[in-house]
Amino acid sequence: MLTIILAGGYGTRLAEETRTVPKPMVEVGGRPLLWHIMKLYARHGGREFAVALGYKGEVIKRYFLDYRMVRGDCAVDLSSGEVTRSGTLDEDWLVHLVDTGQDTQTGGRLRRLRDLVDGKTFMLTYGDGVSDVDIAALQAFHAAQGKLATLTAVRPPARYGSLVLEDGRVSRFSEKDPASESWVNGGFFVMEPEVLDMIEGDATELEKGLLTTLSEQGQLGAYRHDGFWQSMDTLRDKMLLNRLWDGGAPPWRTWE
């Protein structure tokens, strides 16, 4: 099943990093966040990807064009300039890199990939979030529900503890409980090809456009995920993900 990754936004809230690279290429553990996302899908058998490019899309193209050279073994004949590659890579992926427009909205980017969808059920996610969501279980849930689309509902990570006050004093500190928060859209969608007909054009947003329409029609399922999920919207988020990776057991690393 084709997995589409939206990777064309400006990432303005992470401007410290995205002046030179698009947000999906910001590194966690020495690898772009995009790679981490793709490894999750590959863990569940995903091999074919379509990356919807926009802002600084050439950086993503260059990464994959050089991937085998940089990550694999090679020999260089300095007299002729001939390069011989050898060995195999763990990533046996087919990656379509598609320019979907500099200012195209998220729904419009999806619509531009209609030819690659080719009338089949497909997966979709954002290029700025990682999770340990069970992709196979998500697919099974979608098939059982019979909706046109299914999103993964997650709890937003707890950011602040709370104070318990009594008579003008702090009696104790209380850790914030993520379970007390409402559910939010964590991405990691499964969709039927019919949804593409519901996107008017490049100006259509995914959430305010397509997902709202699907919800109003009763055609948007929600797969509840109580495990790990974290988006990378700010420098603080990037630092958190790197700390988790450096700790040796990042919760989204479900692959070997």
Position 166 pLDDT exceeds 80:
no
pLDDT (0 to 100) of residue 140: 97
Q: How far apart are the first and last CA of the chain?
A: 22
Q: Where are the alpha helices (DSSP H) in 19-155?
A: 33-43, 57-65, 67-71, 106-111, 114-117, 135-145
Q: Confidence band (pLDDT; 50, 70, 90) for 170? A: low
Q: And the tokens for 23? A: 């947000």
Do the beta carbons of residue 176 and residue 162 sit within 8 Å? yes
pLDDT (0 to 100) of residue 179: 52
Q: Confidence band (pLDDT; 50, 70, 90) for 43? A: very high
Position 178 pLDDT exceeds 60:
no
- CATH architecture of the region 3-246: Alpha-Beta Complex (3.90)
Q: Confidence band (pLDDT; 50, 70, 90) for 79? A: very high
Query: Distance between CA 85 and CA 3 in Å, rounded?
Result: 28
Mean pLDDT on 86-114: 94
CA separation, residue 147 to residues 55, 171, 176, 215, 222 (Å): 32, 49, 34, 10, 10
Do the beta carbons of residue 27 and residue 248 sit within 8 Å? no
Q: Confidence band (pLDDT; 50, 70, 90) for 68? A: confident
Least reliable range by pLDDT among 48-57, 97-106, 131-140, 176-185? 176-185
Residue 134: CA atoms inside 13 Å, Cβ hemisphere, count? 11
**Domain ranges within the chain, ordered by starting residue:** 3-246
CA 91 to chain centre: 17
- Would residue 128 be called left, alpha or beta, if left means φ above 0 and alpha means ψ between -120 and 50 degrees? alpha
